[in-house]
């Protein structure tokens, strides 16, 4: 099914972008699995990329390369005829291509055509065992290269095109044999099933010569790495007649505004000095920029929530062909990949493409492909924005340090929509109701986002459907719990409940808080049983157990007294607090909801190294973590790491010491 949808996607993209160059092969969004092994890419296509709707995966250069532990040794070719690399053998490469195609995912190979190997600190044998020396390789000799010189003047185009990067031999692509050698390499990969190419360092090859090589290779779909910089002699616009080009300025512009005011991003495009959309391959970061190469200035995985939101914007906004970066953790910018498997189970890999928000936004881009416009724009004048993609999708991005609660025009038909950014699966989180006039009330935590589209509606649900809700969470706070957070449970459409104990003390009162930070809180200024945002404290003189019920649509609430021991539960702890990166390591009180069972709704943002622990007294003197990552707590155990994003219910049993984190 996934495979059969590709021609339609390509046809649609050609219509909306109006470019034969890019529509011939490009789809909606692809991912760069940087330095992944072939076998692991194959499994990822089958298990994740295909099901999530990724159009393609960019792989590291498959040619033989120089030996060494650094990532950049992959970009120093030794031979095109030997396809054994750090990622695997030629047979494993072929198997990966076949398996990814079966999963509906195309393959784009990174190709190094300009500079050849010079680094020999780890010997003169390539990754496939070939012997070589600079300017002398198994299939090339000194006469196939430009004369030895190093690029020294980016204001001189000939110097950029005819000299080597960092002293590496520069292939003479003006000569017939090097042209044929490179073209035959591309044709071999196409014969294996490779669907397209990223031409590395295309800026350092004369446009006419690169065009000739691609023509000799029967013009496979390609995109070209050309880094533009003011005042330089070689610019991206010189290459767009050949193929789409990497728009490096895009990532810097996005980063600058996420560090400033994202309201400005409404007009991002050619008026900003960017290439036309049909000629641009865009990214928040790539393997060079996240290491500060090529100018730097981009957001990276180390920026946590900002990086996450920037990727959401890229996948929502109708400009270019977006590429998601997915690599590994590093402190040394030369460091190669972690040892062992390159799957996401290996903790050294960041796996940004698996972050819920980023992965689910690929589905959003697929669903909004034929609505190539920005409509119903709204912003708060600074760092909260919302817009629709015609009548196909709607996105809200909150880059402020406080929650967003607004009723906005979505442009969507009436219905119940899944907030695809509220859980791992598109419809595993909150539902949002869009009225007949297209309006909907959205509540988005600080540094978070929400997205709706026609392909993720609740209309087809007939059994075990999640309740509709207008808020992602709700807490009751008051004198009874020291103004802490007691999480309420969503028990039916728009209906939240919690049982609380009141002691009848003087000035006993309470309020309701959506995120537990007072950013979006509700009280009752008129004492009429109807809540108002930022309303007055709700006074109550009763004593005993009370069932508190709130309807988040009508904003009505009730307090109903229970039996003499309703809500009385047995526990081994007198109290329990959740503490972690999600709440700045502060103490969030958990609620005793059953015998020995403590519960709290937590909003995770998916930041790098996201983790938490449990604390009985709130002073770390009796804290619990998980040394074995097996779901069982140990006193003073290790931090518990999680990569989830969105609203999750965290539970702890203080008898078995088991804990769980479940999507809401």
Q: Residue 463: what pLDDT?
A: 52
**Among this protein's residues, is 225 annotated catalytic?**
yes
Q: Residue 106: what pLDDT?
A: 97
Cβ atoms of 117 and 130 within 8 Å: the answer is no
Upper half-sphere CA count for residue 595 (Cβ side, 13 Å) = 3
Q: Which of 92, 200, 290, 626 is catalytic?
A: 200
**Averaged pLDDT for residues 591-615:** 88
Q: Which of 225, 517, 615, 654 is catalytic?
A: 225
Q: Residue 346: what pLDDT?
A: 67
Q: Residue 645: what pLDDT?
A: 86
Question: Does 576-663 match 30-367 at the fold level?
Answer: no
Kindly list the domain boundaries of the chain, sorted by start residue: 30-367, 374-453, 475-563, 576-663
Cβ atoms of 397 and 387 within 8 Å: the answer is no
CA dihedral 211, 215, 217, 220 (to 10 degrees): 80
157 pLDDT higher than 50: yes
Q: How far apart, in Å, are the Cα atoms of 269 and each of 59, 178, 230, 306, 391?
A: 28, 37, 18, 21, 22
**Averaged pLDDT for residues 180-198:** 98
d(CA 601, CA 613): 14
In sequence order, what E strands does 49-191 have? Answer: 56-59, 64-65, 77-79, 106-112
**Averaged pLDDT for residues 49-64:** 96
Containing 389, the helix (H) or strand (E) segment is strand 384-389
Q: Residue 16: what pLDDT?
A: 37
**Among this protein's residues, is 634 annotated catalytic?**
no
Q: Residue 534: what pLDDT?
A: 87
- Which CATH entry fits the domain spanning 576-663: 3.30.1490.100, 1.20.81.30, 2.60.40.3620, 1.10.3720.10? 2.60.40.3620
366 pLDDT higher than 90: yes
Place of tokens 């790539």: 286
**Averaged pLDDT for residues 3-12:** 31
Q: Residue 614: what pLDDT?
A: 96
41 pLDDT higher than 60: yes
Kindly report the CATH number that applies to the domain delimited by 30-367: 3.20.20.80
Q: Residue 594: what pLDDT?
A: 82
Q: At what angle do helices 248-258 and 305-316 cross, to 10 degrees?
A: 120
Burial class of 247 by CB neighbour count within 10 A (0 to 12, 13 to 18, 19+) = buried
129 pLDDT higher than 60: yes
3 pLDDT higher than 50: no
Kindly report the CATH number that applies to the domain delimited by 374-453: 2.60.40.1180
Kindly report the number of other CB atoms within 10 A of residue 199's CB atom. 27
In 3D, which of 136, 216, 234 has the Cα closest to residue 177? 216
């Amino acid at each position: 099914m996934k495979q059969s949808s590709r021609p339609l996607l390509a046809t649609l993209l050609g219509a909306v972008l109006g470019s034969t160059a890019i529509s011939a092969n490009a789809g909606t969004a692809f991912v760069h699995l940087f330095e992944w092994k072939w076998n692991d890419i194959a499994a990822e296509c089958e298990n994740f990329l295909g099901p999530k709707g990724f159009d393609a995966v960019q792989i590291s250069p498959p040619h033989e390369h120089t030996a060494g532990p650094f990532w950049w040794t992959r970009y120093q070719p030794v031979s095109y005829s030997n396809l054994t690399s750090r990622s695997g053998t030629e047979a494993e490469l072929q198997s990966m291509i076949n398996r990814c195609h079966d999963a509906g995912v195309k393959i784009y190979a990174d190709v190094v055509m300009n500079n050849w190997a010079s680094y020999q600190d780890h010997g003169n044998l390539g990754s496939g065992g070939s012997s070589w020396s600079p300017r002398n390789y198994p299939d090339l000799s000194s006469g196939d290269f430009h004369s030895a010189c190093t690029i020294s003047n980016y204001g001189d185009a000939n110097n950029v095109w005819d000299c080597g990067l960092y002293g590496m031999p520069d292939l003479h692509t003006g000569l017939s044999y090097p042209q044929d050698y490179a073209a035959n390499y591309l044709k071999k990969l196409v014969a294996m099933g490779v669907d397209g190419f990223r031409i590395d360092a295309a800026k350092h090859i004369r446009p006419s010569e690169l065009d000739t090589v691609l023509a000799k290779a029967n013009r496979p779909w390609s995109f070209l790495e050309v880094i533009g910089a003011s005042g330089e002699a070689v610019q991206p616009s010189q290459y767009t007649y050949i193929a789409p080009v990497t728009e490096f300025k895009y990532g810097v512009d996005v980063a600058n505004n996420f560090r400033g005011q994202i309201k400005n991003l409404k007009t991002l495009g050619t008026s900003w000095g960017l290439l036309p959309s049909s000629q641009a391959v865009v990214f928040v970061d790539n393997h060079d920029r996240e290491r500060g190469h090529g100018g730097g200035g981009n957001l990276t995985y180390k920026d946590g929530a900002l990086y996450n939101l920037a990727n959401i914007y890229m996948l929502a906004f109708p400009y270019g062909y977006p590429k998601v970066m997915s690599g590994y953790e590093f402190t040394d910018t030369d460091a190669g990949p972690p040892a062992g498997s390159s799957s996401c189970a290996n903790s050294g890999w960041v796996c940004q493409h698996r972050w819920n928000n980023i992965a689910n936004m690929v589905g959003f881009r697929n669903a909004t492909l034929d609505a190539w416009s920005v409509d119903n724009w709204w912003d708060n004048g600074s760092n909260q924005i919302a817009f629709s993609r015609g009548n196909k999708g709607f996105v809200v991005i909150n880059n402020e340090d406080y929650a967003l609660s607004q009723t906005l025009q979505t442009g969507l038909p009436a219905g119940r929509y899944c907030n695809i950014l509220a859980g791992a699966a598109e419809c595993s989180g909150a539902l949002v109701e869009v009225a007949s006039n297209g309006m909907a009330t959205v509540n988005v935590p600080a540094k978070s986002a929400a997205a709706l589209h026609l392909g993720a509606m609740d209309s087809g649900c007939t059994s075990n459907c999640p309740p509709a809700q207008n808020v992602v969470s709700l807490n009751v706070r008051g004198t009874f719990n020291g103004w802490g957070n007691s999480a309420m449970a969503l028990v039916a459409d728009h209906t939240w409940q919690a049982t609380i104990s009141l002691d009848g003390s003087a000035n006993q009162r309470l309020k309701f808080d959506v995120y537990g930070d007072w950013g979006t809180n509700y009280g009752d200024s008129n004492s009429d049983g109807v809540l108002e945002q930022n309303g007055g404290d709700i006074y109550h003189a009763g004593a005993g157990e009370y069932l508190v019920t709130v309807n988040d649509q009508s904003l009505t609430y009730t307090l109903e007294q229970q039996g003499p021991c309703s809500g009385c539960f047995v526990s081994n702890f007198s109290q329990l607090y959740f503490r972690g990166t999600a709440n700045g390591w502060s103490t969030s009180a958990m609620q005793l909801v059953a015998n020995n069972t403590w519960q709290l709704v937590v909003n995770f943002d998916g930041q790098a190294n996201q983790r938490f622990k449990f604390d009985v007294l709130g002073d770390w003197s009796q804290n619990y973590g998980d040394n074995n990552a097996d779901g069982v707590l140990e006193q003073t155990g290790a931090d518990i790491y999680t990569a989830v994003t969105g609203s999750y219910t965290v539970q702890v049993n203080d008898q078995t010491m088991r804990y769980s984190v479940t999507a809401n």
